[in-house]
Amino acid sequence: MAWSFVSYATGEAKGDDDLTISGAMPSHQSGDILLFGGIGYMPGGLTDPSGWTRIGSQVNFTSNGWAAVYWKRAASSSEAAPAMSGSGNWGSCGLVVIRGIVASGDPVHAYSNTAYGTSNTTLRAATVTTTVSTALIFFGMSSSDATRPLNATEPSGYTERVDWSADESGGIYISTKDASAETTGNVDATLNRTVGTWKHAALIALTPAAAAGISIPVAMCHYRKLRG
């Protein structure tokens, strides 16, 4: 089965609230891969959501600032919403559901989590190198407010999935690509305004279920050729 983008949800925090999605969890089923990430001002530090695996994070990329991305394999169609915990006065987060990824083990084939704080309109995820076909997920986060939404332009070759901003709490930008084995180079989305330090993007390569079994049929074909 080919992988697919299923659904998403977003959320924000103000004051000392945990950073979690608003409302109900997005539609999902057992075996789906859930990706959750957020950016925020958390001077009291960051506590990871229970039961989730941290893919990568940036801490103090500006004074008391945090950005992190996590994954979890859904065990049912009723997973509880995750929360990044920490005292602070603002933050935004997003959660996406990806289907058709490997059913066991670590689904993250490769990822990049390099800080890019140049003051410009570029929201950049650093390069990754993959050795199989993957689902590439560009997971971007940035400061924003109600009068200045992200309104980002997707990276070349990617499909925009989420472009959301909260009232003064930041924004989430996510796009995806069905990719072959490759070295991606830096992957850039373009924001509608200049942002300095308060932005971050991770590039996450997930292994589809189909890609995990590629080596078996190739070896079988080679064996039959030799026997013929």
Least-confidence region, from 24-28, 88-92, 159-163: 88-92
The Cα–Cα gap between 27 and 18 comes to: 22
| DSSP characters over 189-202 | EEEEEEE-SSEEEE
pLDDT tens for each residue of 175-208: 999 999 999 999 999 988 888 888 899 999 999 9
Rg (CA), the chain: 18
| 32 and 74 Cβ atoms separated by less than 8 Å | yes
Whether the pLDDT of residue 223 is over 50: the answer is no
Give me the pLDDT at residue 170, please. Answer: 80
pTM of the complete model beyond 0.85 = yes
- Per DSSP, 20 falls in state E
Give me the pLDDT at residue 62, please. Answer: 60
Sorting pLDDT into bands at 50, 70 and 90, what band is 87? Answer: low
Sorting pLDDT into bands at 50, 70 and 90, what band is 148? Answer: low
Domain ranges within the chain, ordered by starting residue: 4-227
- 25 C-beta neighbours (distance < 10 Å), count: 18
- Per DSSP, 221 falls in state H
**Structure tokens given for 80:** 């509880």
Give me the pLDDT at residue 195, please. Answer: 84
